[in-house]
Structure 1
Amino acid sequence: MFRYMYHLVHIKKRFTKVMLTFPIRRHSYTECDKDASLVNQQFRAEVPWNWPQYFEQAQRSPHPFTVVHCDSAVFKNFSHYLDLLFLPSTQWSADHFERSNP
């Protein structure tokens, strides 16, 4: 998110300033937070296609959730585009977990 905002301000020059504000956890009362509280956080989807069905059934009144089905063509690949402009700043390492018999 920060790289994208940097890109909009410094590279594309679309904005002169972008301010991001982060609410304190559990102290936001916006409409999207109220809607998100209706969804069972313990739900485990077996396959990704279970999620739209679950959200459609999560609330019936006063109005049901509207689920818009999207494929990957709808989303842009910002990571690939921004990787050409920014060098990685963090070294990542992979851990290996293995079960061994005593």
Structure 2
Amino acid sequence: MTFPEHGHSYMGCDSNMALINQKAIVGTPSGWNYEVLTACVKPQPFKVVSCESQCVFLAWTKFLTPLHATQCPFATVPIKHLVISQDHPRLIQYRLKYNGTNDTAVVVPPKKKRPAPDLQPGEFRLPPRSYEELIPINEANYKEECL
């Protein structure tokens, strides 16, 4: 993965984000839905998918914490090139410049002896849901707190 020079990205997602009013005072999900819906009209408006059911929010942090290092062993902001390989699944190779040699860091602790999972190669288990109950949002009170 090669990261472009800061400020030189011409990807579609970057130009779409520039259309959204970044200075809007919004604090509720429905407020952000409105801001995104009204940000672009032509050639077609943005499509907003509501996550009312909250079953899409999974506890990834809790699930991945025992599997990966808790702190990244190198500064991530200046990285220009990143290599992750199946040949060395515990290592990340990275470069701080576009040319030069790769540095290497271990990001996954050594595997402990554990029973073999009943998964096929390339499969993984989804973590549990992040929230067992719906998150209550009282939009009237929330708007007052944000102002």
Residue type of the partner of 2:46? F
Structure with the largest fraction of strand:
2
Q: Give the superposed CA RMSD.
A: 2.0
2:43 to 62, 65, 68: 62
Structure with the largest fraction of helix:
1
Counterparts of residues 8-87 of structure 1 (less than 5 Å): 20-70=1-51, 71-86=53-68
After superposition, the Cα gap between the structure-2 partners of 1:83 and 1:41, relative to the gap in structure 1 and judged at 3 Å, is same
Please report how far the alpha carbon of residue 87 of structure 1 lies from its aligned counterpart in structure 2 after TM superposition: 5.4
> TM-score normalised to the size of structure 2?
0.42
After superposition, the Cα gap between the structure-2 partners of 1:82 and 1:37, relative to the gap in structure 1 and judged at 3 Å, is same
- Counterpart CA distance in 2 for 1:49 and 1:78 is 25
After superposition, the Cα gap between the structure-2 partners of 1:37 and 1:87, relative to the gap in structure 1 and judged at 3 Å, is closer
Structure 2 residue runs without a partner (length 5+): 73-147
Query: Moved runs in structure 1, 4+ residues, more than 4 A?
Result: none
- Counterpart CA distance in 1 for 2:31 and 2:65 is 33
Higher relative CO (CA 8 A, sep ≥ 6), structure 1 or 2? Answer: 2
Size of the aligned set, in residue pairs, is 71
Residue type of the partner of 1:26? G
